[in-house]
């Protein structure tokens, strides 16, 4: 069975996001004063094959903790959906 996992990694609330600040300033300079706070994170799509849904979920959580997110400054969440074999 194949799965498509979508992982969202975001800076924790209260953690400074200089990349977001830079984008906010650029948008103001381009003429979009309506833009307030901007936060920038990562969006990952992973294909997982030959695992059960339960196993996929548990192991993906491990991957996030070990590699995909820096838990000191980032939060993560994910969704797993059935996918055609890739």
Q: How many residues bind a copy of itself (CB under 8 A)?
A: 36
In degrees, rounded to 5, the angle at the alpha carbon of residue 54 between the alpha carbons of residues 52 and 58 is: 115
Q: Determine, following the binding rule CB under 8 A, whether residue 8 of this chain makes contact with a copy of itself.
A: yes
Which listed residue (36, 54, 79, 84) binds a copy of itself by CB under 8 A? 36
Q: How far apart are CA 52 and CA 32, in angstroms?
A: 46
Q: According to CB under 8 A, which residues from 43 to 82 bind a copy of itself?
A: 43-51, 56, 59, 62-63, 66-68
CB of 12 to a copy of itself, least distance (A): 13
CB of 16 to a copy of itself, least distance (A): 15
Q: Determine, following the binding rule CB under 8 A, whether residue 27 of this chain makes contact with a copy of itself.
A: yes
Token digits for 83? 């996918």
Which helix H or strand E contains 14, and what residues bound it? none
Among candidates 21, 68, 86, 37, which has minimal Cα distance to 77? 68
């Amino acid at each position: 069975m194949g799965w498509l996992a979508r992982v969202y990694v975001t800076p924790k609330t209260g953690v400074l996001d200089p990349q977001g600040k830079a984008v906010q300033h650029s948008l103001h300079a381009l003429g979009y004063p309506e833009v307030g706070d901007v936060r920038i994170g990562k969006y990952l799509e992973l294909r997982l094959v030959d695992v059960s849904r339960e196993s996929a979920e548990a192991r993906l959580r491990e991957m996030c903790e070990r590699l995909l997110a820096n838990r000191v400054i980032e939060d993560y969440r994910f969704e797993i959906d059935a996918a055609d074999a890739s």
